[in-house]
Structure 1
């Protein structure tokens, strides 16, 4: 039962991440309310998973990774290279994916960030004229909605974890 609630919290976090990605794409803003809600989902899910697993290692590793990301990205925010919402979202994400999902998340984030940078710098690769114009506008303003690749990588990692957990649960019965 605890594992099911943990997976439900992860699914709710994935839905909220999709909302954050859309809002960041359209408004270049990530609200503190959404980040705090993600923090609650992540902590709740990790705590339930830690009780089921009988080990708090995953939770400790996630908290350490979140702290390191916040401290590491904070100077980039002060230099105006990254938005404050992006820094907070990156700091909360390890709590969503857990310590065991950090490698998968990191690899997916690298792929999605490269695709985002490629599309922002080369909007002619996009099919729709309005979408191309929007990306050109982002390029002229010098902003990149980095919350989109962060959210996409986290959603894919969470989906992988949910499928893996459900498969393990089914095979164990």
Structure 2
């Protein structure tokens, strides 16, 4: 029963991450409400899984990772290289995916962030149309919606975790 509730929370997190990615892509804003809701869902899911396994190691590792990410990314926000919403989202995502998913998340984030930066800097790779014009607008504006690759990497990591929980109970 605890596993089913944790998986349900992770499923809710996927839909919230998709919303965050879309809103960041269209408005370059990540609301505090969405980040706090994501944090609460992550903490609830982590707590259920910690009770199920009888170990709080994953929750402690997530808290440490969230703190380290916040401290590491805060100077980039101060230099206006990354948005405050992106910093808060990275912190919340560490609680959402847990300590056991940090390596998978980091690798996926690297791939998706590089792909996003490549598309924004080279929009001629995209087919003609509104999407290409929007990416060219982002390039002229000098912004990259970093919440999109964060959300996509987190969604893929959560999907991987759900599959591993279902296959090996």
The TM tier, using the shorter chain, reads: over 0.9
- After TM superposition, give the deviation of residue 133 of structure 1 in Å: 0.7
- Please tell me the root mean square deviation across aligned C-alpha atoms, in Å: 0.6
Structural mapping, 1:8-157, within 5 Å: 8-157=8-157
Inter-partner Cα distance in structure 2 for 1:146 and 1:126? 19
What are the superposed Cα offsets for residues 81-122 of structure 1, whole Å, 9 maximum, x if unpaired?
000000000011110110000000000000000100110011
SS in 2 for 1:44: helix
- Number of residue pairs matched by the alignment: 169
- After TM superposition, give the deviation of residue 168 of structure 1 in Å: 1.0
Inter-partner Cα distance in structure 2 for 1:48 and 1:128? 47
What are the superposed Cα offsets for residues 49-105 of structure 1, whole Å, 9 maximum, x if unpaired?
000011000000000000100011011101100000000000111101100000000
Inter-partner Cα distance in structure 1 for 2:46 and 2:147? 22
Inter-partner Cα distance in structure 2 for 1:28 and 1:40? 23
Inter-partner Cα distance in structure 2 for 1:27 and 1:138? 11
Inter-partner Cα distance in structure 2 for 1:89 and 1:25? 14
* TM-score of the pair, normalised by structure 1: 0.97
Inter-partner Cα distance in structure 2 for 1:70 and 1:128? 38
**Runs of at least 5 residues in structure 2 that lack an aligned partner in the other structure:** none
Inter-partner Cα distance in structure 1 for 2:114 and 2:17? 19
